[in-house]
Amino acid sequence: MKRLATLCLVLAVAGLSVFVWITRPQGLDAAQAAGLESGGDAARGEIVFHAGGCASCHVKPGETDRKKLGGGLALKTEFGTFIAPNISSHKSDGIGAWSVADLANAMQRGVSPKGEHYYPAFPYTTYAHARIEDIRDLMAYLRTLPAVEGKAPAHDLPFPFSIRRFVGVWKVLFLDTQPIVADASRTEAWNRGRYLADALGHCAECHSPRNILGGIISAQRYAGGPDPEGRGWVPNITAKGLGSWSKADVSELLATGFTPDFDSVGSSMADVVKNMAALSKADRDAMADYLKSLPAVDGPAKPPKK
Amino acid sequence: MFRGLIIATALVAGLSSVAAVAQNNVIAERQQLMKGLGQAGRAPAAMLKGEQAFDLAAVQTTLKTFADSAKKAPTLFPAGTETGNETAALPKVWSDKADFEAKWAKFAADAEAAQGAIKDEASFKATFPNVVRACGGCHEGYRAKKN
């Protein structure tokens, strides 16, 4: 009997150790992070900034200057309310004291400088595929932006989502850190578009349905689904949804927000358009090129009309 | 007594379904108005992109539709029409009504000012995009995403 109790205890400790080991926040390799601190190009970083859509979440609601990244936007989800933090160049309230490696760990592995997990409301699942040079350039640009005082409030999450350690389990299941490899059989524009959409623009983060754990259902990537922010339905942007659109139509929507029917996109997509409008037309055309190549996939069924 | 109760219940049910129909009608009416705005905008949008020849009269007709619809629109969001009939209107329409109505008023004023300002293709290309910026500016806060 006593032996059984000992065995149970040993197994429990072993299990816990394995859990702790598997769910530990893992940053980039030291080798990857080395030598990043210098050489960033702020002009190129500005393109990364717009393509990555940083302003959409990190500009304080109501603030019209999209370079003031004081944070505070609330993302209401079924897991609780996430609040975007201050990522301005403020030394203590923002990320002004961060190294490039800190930013790379945050954006590409979801790990904070203190070694904690970030929640995947921050789309590091997408940024993980980016080139590390782009993160370095982005940091060079972020450092040119104004310092905004004031920390954003903490997330408001119910148990068990309030336990950050569990994000480690989520990462094992859903975080893929493979860089995007160019497809030699496609054009340069298509590859650029894919990179912009899948490594920076994080289109699929909203335009895909998610499972009950909040992971993207990969078979239905880009096939749309219920709006994770609540009311509404995110459109299917595979050929199933955009079949009748030309590439020029997709590029035009990214530039102005207008559909071929001269309808105008709503909700947070209107803000995404502000980011896309700041890119070059060549980049918008490249994204259109890639998005128009997505094969038709049926999304989840819409609820019946009420 | 019992019969009275049945009649009363039937009356209440009847009245509330009449009210529901009226609400659905208002929602359908504003959806129609929005569709009309989109339709009116199509020709000028094609002119901007160079897919269609510039036509001053057509642009003026569009601007008149914009101004007239923008004046009517705020009356089509009465209390009680927050949900139902696939409305894509977000709750903010009602919780921030003053801003919502101010945005419509600005759109109406901009469309009317553009009627005077647009005299040729050059003034059209300079002015029209600013007028239709109102669409995204308002949809951002007040309309849900939809397929």
CA-angle at A192, arms to A41 and A35, nearest 5°: 35
B144 touches chain A (CB under 8 A): yes
> What H or E segment, with its residue span, contains residue A75?
strand A74-77
Q: B75, B81, B83: which is closest to B100 by C-alpha? A: B75
CA-angle at A122, arms to A256 and A46, nearest 5°: 50
Euclidean distance between CA atoms A97 and A113, whole angstroms: 10
- Is A197's pLDDT higher than 70? yes
Q: Are A15 and A9 in contact (CB under 8 A)?
A: no
- The predicted pLDDT at position A3 comes to 83
Supply A58's token pair: 């990190």
List, in sequence order, every residue forming a beta bridge with A234; answer none if it has no partner: A225
- The predicted pLDDT at position B9 comes to 57
B147 lies in a domain?
A: no
Model confidence pLDDT, tens digit, residues A266-282: 999 999 999 999 999 99
Q: Which residue of A has its CA nearest to B49?
A: A252
Q: Are strands A74-77 and A80-83 parallel, antiparallel or unpaired?
A: antiparallel
Asked if A267 and B137 come within 8 Å (Cβ–Cβ), the reply is: no
Residue with token string 């819409």:
A302
Asked if A264 and B132 come within 8 Å (Cβ–Cβ), the reply is: yes
- Is A48's pLDDT higher than 60? yes
List, in sequence order, every residue forming a beta bridge with A258; answer none if it has no partner: A264
Asked if A265 and B139 come within 8 Å (Cβ–Cβ), the reply is: yes
Give the range of the structural domain holding residue B108, as residue numbers without chain letter. Answer: 2-142
Model confidence pLDDT, tens digit, residues A124-175: 999 999 999 999 999 999 999 999 999 999 999 999 999 999 999 999 999 9
Q: Are B92 and B100 in contact (CB under 8 A)?
A: yes
B45, B86, B140 member nearest A305 (Cβ): B86
A232, A264, A306 member nearest B84 (Cβ): A306
B35 lies in a domain?
A: yes
Supply A226's token pair: 């219920």
- Long-range CB pairs of A301-306 (<8 Å, 24+ gap) are A302/A233, A302/B147, A305/B86, A306/B84, A306/B85, A306/B86
Which of the four pLDDT bands, split at 50, 70 and 90, describes residue A100?
very high
ω before A146 within 30° of 0 (cis)? no
- The predicted pLDDT at position B86 comes to 86
- The predicted pLDDT at position A194 comes to 98
Chain B residues inside the 8 Å CB shell of A306: 84-86
Which of the four pLDDT bands, split at 50, 70 and 90, describes residue A16?
confident
List, in sequence order, every residue forming a beta bridge with A74; answer none if it has no partner: A83
- What percent of chain A has a predicted confidence (pLDDT) above 70? 99
Predicted TM-score (pTM) of the model is 0.90
**Most B-contacting residue of A237, A240, A250, A263 (CB-CB within 10 A), to test interface:** A263
In chain B, the number of structural domains is 1
Distance from CA of B45 to the nearest CA of A (A): 7
* Residues of chain B falling short of pLDDT 70: 1-21, 147
B23 lies in a domain?
A: yes
A262, A265, A267 member nearest B42 (Cβ): A262
B84 touches chain A (CB under 8 A): yes
DSSP state of B76: G
Put residue A262 in one of left, alpha, beta given phi > 0 → left and psi -120 to 50 → alpha: left
Asked if A273 and B136 come within 8 Å (Cβ–Cβ), the reply is: yes
Q: Are strands A225-226 and A74-77 parallel, antiparallel or unpaired?
A: unpaired
- Is A54's pLDDT higher than 80? yes
Q: Which residue of B has its CA nearest to A249?
A: B49
- The predicted pLDDT at position B107 comes to 97
CATH code assigned at B109: 1.20.120.10
- The predicted pLDDT at position B5 comes to 54
Helix/strand/coil percent split, chain B, to 5? 80, 0, 20
Euclidean distance between CA atoms A151 and A92, whole angstroms: 9
B58 touches chain A (CB under 8 A): no
A305 touches chain B (CB under 8 A): yes
List, in sequence order, every residue forming a beta bridge with A225; answer none if it has no partner: A234
